[in-house]
Amino acid sequence: MKTLSILTLAVVLATLSLACESADETATLNLNESLETANPSTPILWRNQGDGVYEAANPAMDWAAPENTRWSIPLATSNASPIKIGDRLYCTEEPSTLVCVSADTGEVLWKRENDYLSLLGLSDEAMRAAKETIARSDLIRKKADRLSYDMNRIEIRANRTNDWDRLGPIYMEKFYAFEALKEEKKALQESSPHSEVIMPTAQIGNGYTSYVPTSDGSRVYACFGTGIVVAYDFEGNRVWHTNVGHPDHGYGGSTFPVLVDDTIVVRFSDYVALDKRTGEILWRTPSNLTFGSFIAFEVENEHYLFTGRGGLIRARDGLQLKEDLVAFDPETGFLEAFNSPVLRDGMIYFTQGAHEAPGTETAVSAFKVPTSKYELEIYGLDRLWKTKLDETSFFSSPLAYDGLVYVAGRDRVLTVLEADTGSIVYQQKLKGARDPIFSSVTLAGESVFLASEDGLALFIEPGREYKERARSRASLFRSTPLFDGERTYVRTWEGLMSLEKVEQSVNFAYSE
């Protein structure tokens, strides 16, 4: 396994995601026609079709106005966006809970825990031994959570004040203590007869639930940073569960599950395909470490996966055709991709960049998907252009729309490029954004939406000049909102809220 820079790993946080396939003929869903992806013959993906384009949306742009909040409910922390099917929302909360909520009222219809003990079915004696192991593991985890929280706050303060020279040594001291706890946990795993019940380490800002649920119209599928993948019916009955193994790092993951035909593909330490009907593992493909997610596309009735490291995998058997096309620096060993590629009009747009990692570069690339399966499997994707940028990294995924590509970097700068050449059209520092941008760039009707972690929500005009339409603030969040007609659903750190366009009281004021 190739290695990562310590600082790069420590600051990586989650991105979000979801996917959906065709609905069962027996499913009787009252799908909301205003939701563009509600056609059960088309996969429902995170950010609409995965491209972030909601052309039919007409959202409220003043999130601070009480009259625009339809409802708001408290939930335990999560970074994952909700999925909407009919009149229900499905989301997650820490550390391994699937939640079903009424989209109209915000009423929680059911919650289902998916912790190790509830899934293993152990005997009484084995249960007692497993609980002892969990108790010891929990002590380690609480110490790790405290250190992770401290590192997250130090990072935020250092970014806001540009004072890494003073705060960097404090950060690294806590990081080394965090790494020592990982070794202590590893020793516990090696000595315990029930090591499968030990929770993997996860950075507190990322957690175990940055994986967005998925549906095929008859079931809801979810995975958690514990390595657990589950399938539920819409009434909350668990159909199956599979433990595919812990992630290959201790910082929490964000790669979303992708449905391709009758399989669901996930990534924790390698790429794993499961039979969506039974949860049986069909194939595994080894993978270098990545935080970036992956997308599926089709060429001549054959499905392929373009990975978060720029790799190419055939979906039916897991054959890896190409590896690490753009996302990995072989000389330094640094990971460079933290978000998801975007497929739009036969093109894949990809951002890369590792935070403060020497020897890496930050860039946007465009790949053309061949129309020939033979050409794709032999030669791979055609890179049309690559544009280097003066950014540290990208957590937010790009938006490609109407001949332009919009990318928002960790440094709170929006860059707009020509989709066919990669030439920079303009760059704009986002005034008033104090924290990094994790929420992915999205087209919300007639506006491009951007948001920073501190809750700043921006709506700008699409096009070749930066023109703000509205700005407001919400609670802290890293997820990407779901735009559905005049309604918007936002998963914040503190809960889930529904906004509806009632009255626009646009506020352009900002403070640095």
Tell me the two tokens of residue 165.
């020279």
Q: Is the pLDDT of residue 437 over 70?
A: yes
Q: What string of H, E and C letters represents the secondary structure of 441-494?
A: CEEECCEEEEECCCCEEEEECCCCCCCEEEEEECCCCCCCCEEECCEEEEECCC
Alpha-carbon span 236 to 114, nearest angstrom: 12
220 touches 232 (CB < 8 A): yes
Residues of the chain above pLDDT 90, percent: 46
The DSSP 8-state label assigned to residue 38 in this structure reads G
Q: How confident is the model at residue 217 (pLDDT cuts 50, 70, 90)?
A: confident
Alpha-carbon span 378 to 403, nearest angstrom: 29
Q: How confident is the model at residue 153 (pLDDT cuts 50, 70, 90)?
A: confident
Alpha-carbon span 181 to 86, nearest angstrom: 44
Task: Give the H or E element holding residue 175.
Answer: helix 164-191
374 or 409, greater pLDDT:
374
Q: Which residues of 196-262 form beta strands (DSSP E)? A: 214-215, 220-223, 228-232, 238-243, 258-260
Q: Which residues of 320-381 form beta strands (DSSP E)? A: 320-322, 342-344, 347-352, 363-368
436 touches 453 (CB < 8 A): yes
332 touches 358 (CB < 8 A): yes
pLDDT score of 24: 35
3-state DSSP assignment of residue 237:
coil
Alpha-carbon span 229 to 242, nearest angstrom: 5
456 or 149, greater pLDDT:
456
Q: How confident is the model at residue 44 (pLDDT cuts 50, 70, 90)?
A: low
253 touches 123 (CB < 8 A): no
The DSSP 8-state label assigned to residue 351 in this structure reads E
The predicted model gives 280-302 an average pLDDT of 89
The DSSP 8-state label assigned to residue 37 in this structure reads G
Alpha-carbon span 195 to 505, nearest angstrom: 55
3-state DSSP assignment of residue 120:
helix
Tell me the two tokens of residue 186.
């590893």
Strands 97-102 and 88-93: antiparallel
Can you name the residues that pair with 260 across neighbouring β-strands? 263
Task: Give the H or E element holding residue 378.
Answer: helix 373-379
Can you name the residues that pair with 473 across neighbouring β-strands? 456
Closest CA to 224 of 239, 203, 210: 210
Report the C-alpha dihedral over residues 261, 267, 271, 272, rounded to 10 degrees: -60
Give one DSSP letter per residue of 86-97, joined into a string: TTEEEEEETTTE
Q: pTM for the full model? A: 0.81
Q: How confident is the model at residue 17 (pLDDT cuts 50, 70, 90)?
A: very low
Q: In what order do the strands lie in the sheet with 320-322?
A: 295-299, 302-306, 312-314, 320-322
**Average pLDDT, rounded, for the chain:** 82
Q: How confident is the model at residue 380 (pLDDT cuts 50, 70, 90)?
A: confident
362 touches 388 (CB < 8 A): yes
pLDDT score of 280: 97
Q: Which amino acid is at 284?
A: R
pLDDT score of 506: 53
Tell me the two tokens of residue 345.
């009009």
399 or 193, greater pLDDT:
399
Alpha-carbon span 347 to 334, nearest angstrom: 26
274 touches 282 (CB < 8 A): yes
Q: Which of 131-140, 298-307, 411-420, 444-453 has the lowest mean pLDDT?
A: 131-140
Q: How confident is the model at residue 238 (pLDDT cuts 50, 70, 90)?
A: very high
Q: Which residue has the tokens 């708001």?
A: 72
Cα 297 from chain centroid? 18
471 touches 458 (CB < 8 A): yes
The predicted model gives 43-56 an average pLDDT of 75
pLDDT score of 354: 62
Tell me the two tokens of residue 204.
């507190």
Alpha-carbon span 466 to 441, nearest angstrom: 14
> 345: buried, middle or exposed (CB in 10 Å: 19+, 13-18, 0-12)?
exposed
Q: In 4-69, which ranges are continuous DSSP H helix?
A: 6-11
pLDDT score of 188: 83
